[in-house]
Chains A and B, each alone.
Chain A
């Protein structure tokens, strides 16, 4: 496991990425800036699952529940307050509370991975049906109508904190979202390097041993699950901000599957992996969308099956192991070219 060395690389990489984010508007057009913004918001969502699954060992098939709740919480609060700052706070708090309640029941119930995955997936399906059924005037929170399957249009986008009349331009929104991605990445890196992070990895590796050493696995898992909910909710707020619109399809099975695919492709047990996986898949889906012959679901499903069968670790860990093997081989000066499997 890389420690000090890895953290230095992460910091340098983040600094370069931050500069890239800032100067990107000088080089690409508005359409591409918009595209990059939604990719970055989705990449934060990918980080949330990459963290709880890859490090916490929590198999959550319905991570989009927290993303969607964050998005709806942002939309409702932004419409009511006319100011995005408290809306973003609520977009984090609401999913965290939901994750705490749900997590209490399933994690303290001590259910297996299989159950956890299925129950969390079911949650997203139920939320989809629930929000879909909120058409009509009775379903409104404050001045915000939930709108059922039509969703909520015209959501106020992000403004400068303290000045609700200063709305961020698309370029500024991009810089905010891009920097948010980098900040979330670094925040999670620090968290993983902390005692808390090491304990959750230990629990992932061997829950029995962790308990026999005096750590309560349930509270650590619950906190991990809640942090994942917070990050996903924050991503949801940024996502709504991108399109000024949210609809129940945010809870649909397709997005749940995509989040899993991002993390599988990129690799569990890394943070860069899920970001790479997310960007690759987003780009691929956009490309597929621009032609008519192949269905996106079909390709995504095939990619998922292919990775599970052939590259179960995902891209980032496979590359990392390969590089590590090459380095140690050149160090020991052995010139054996063994065939890759």
Chain B
């Protein structure tokens, strides 16, 4: 292996009591790669993200970021190494305004003035300028998702994990999210978890399918979605592929 991958997990496993939520996952992501992670509910996608960001500690196995072992590190340490995450349920600062949410996120790395400029730029990019002074707690679910994506961008991470970024969004918003992801991908690597197959088709090149905590297949998007096993897994859940 000549080039060190951006992210690499080795035999990553976590068990809760008798349940193995993530089972022996070996996952590799190159710099600036865009990967989609799909699988039915309970496949272990969100748990996998929590292991990558230090919110959960693996029972076995390791996570390497640019060759450095980060398994067992705290969430804030992993964040400072350049990993940002939008969680499944929006995690934002409800009593603060949109502007303040982004400012706090930028301030971790930057001076106060630069942080204000960065927050401004991201609000423009995400079309949040109109609601800059609104308290995030009073916004709609879709807007809160955008704010959370904004805080992730403001941290300027090299690797962005997005857990269901299109959930609960309107058709137009979904399209915009897809465009945004492709734009972000020009500079940064992303792993996107999503159920919406239209959305996946729009953005994905390579898809990793998780099933019952383990990697089922990892293929080019068209091959993956045509795969018999993938269809069986999803048909069990009644989802059209």
Contacts and interface: CB of A to CB of B under 8 A. Distances in A.
Touching chains A and B, CB distance < 8 Å: yes
A195 B53 CA distance: 24
B60 interface: no
A215 B76 contact: yes
A1 interface: yes
Contact of A212 (B79, B97, B109): B79
A53 to B, nearest CB: 15
A210 B100 CA distance: 13
B108 interface: yes
B156 to A, nearest CB: 11
Given A214-B155, A215-B108, A205 B79 contact: no
B92 A209 contact: yes
A208 interface: yes
A205 B151 contact: no
A212 B86 CA distance: 9
The dominant DSSP class at the A interface is: helix
Contacts, number: 72
B88 to A, nearest CB: 12
Q: Which of A202, A205, A212, A217 has the most CB of B within 10 A?
A: A212
Interface residues of A, number: 19
A113 interface: no
Contacts of A202: 93, 96, 104
A1 B155 contact: no
Interface string B68-100: 000000111001100011010001111111001
A319 B37 CA distance: 49
B66 interface: no
A211 B155 contact: no
A199 B104 contact: yes
B95 A201 contact: yes
A198 B102 CA distance: 12
A213 B79 contact: yes
Interface in B92-146: 92-97, 100, 103-105, 107-109, 112
Contacts of A210: 76, 93, 104
Given A198-B104, A202-B104, A214-B108, A209 B93 contact: yes
Q: Give me the 9 closest cross-chain CB pairs, A-B, nearest first.
A: A214-B79, A205-B93, A211-B75, A209-B91, A214-B108, A216-B76, A214-B80, A211-B76, A202-B104
Given A195-B107, A208-B91, 7 more contacts: A1-B95, A199-B107, A206-B92, A209-B151, A211-B79, A214-B108, A216-B74
